[in-house]
Amino acid sequence: MWTFEHKAQETGYRRVVGVDEAGRGPLAGPVVSAAVLLPDDFPDQGITDSKKLTPKKRDILYTVIMENALAVSVGSASHHEIDEFNILRASLLSMKRAVLGIDPLPDHLLIDGTFTIDSSISQQAIIKGDALSISIAAASIVAKVTRDRLMVDIHRLYPGYGFDRHKGYPTKAHKQALAELGPTPVHRFSFKGVGSV
C-alpha cells in the first residue's frame, strides 16, 4: 500500500498527499473529498478502500487517521454546484478545495480515479487507487465518514427520506420517499429520478 508513496519520495517529493472523494452516486447532498498527508511511520491498522470496510471499522480508522496524519483537509461541492457543473466537474472541484486546505501545500498528489485536478502541483491519477495507495485509502475513509455524518445531520432536517440509513444513495426506500414526498432542497435535480419527480 506504500508503493506509490515511496516511488514519489524516491523521485524527490516530500509532501505526498492522497486525495479521494465520496458521494458521486447519491441523489442528494454534496460530494465530499479529503486530502491526507501521512507520516512514514503511520500505523496502517488495515486501512483500505472505505467501501470495503464496515461503518464501525471506518469510524475507528477515521480516528486513527485524524490522530496520526501530518495533515488532513476536507473539501466539498454542493448539490447546487453538482447541478450546475455536473458530478465529475464538481467532484474534481471538491478535490481541489481539499488539496488547497493542506498547509503548506503538497508537492505531489496521488488521486483516486482517472482524472487529475486543475492545479500546478505534480499529480498522478491512479485507477482503484483507494485499494493501492495508503494515502488515497486514508482519504477515502475521511471523505466517506465526513459525508455520512453530514447526511445524518441532513436527515434531522428532512426525516422522511431515510438519509441516516442510505446517505442519499438511490435505494428502493429513497426512491419511494421521493415518489411520495417529492424532492427536498438538498436533492440533485440534474440526476435521473429526481428532477422528473
For the stretch 36-82, pLDDT in tens is 999 999 988 889 889 899 999 999 999 999 999 999 999 999 999 99
Contact 141, 65 (CB under 8 A): yes
The full set of domain ranges for the chain reads: 3-181
End-to-end C-alpha distance for the chain, whole angstroms: 44
- Give the Cα separation of 97 and 116 in Å (integer): 13
Looking at domain 3-181, its CATH superfamily turns out to be Ribonuclease H-like superfamily/Ribonuclease H (3.30.420.10)
**Model pLDDT, residue 196:** 59
- Band (pLDDT 50/70/90 cuts) for residue 86 is very high
Average pLDDT score over residue span 23-30: 97
Q: What is the DSSP string of 89-107?
A: HHHHHHHHHHHHTSSSPPS
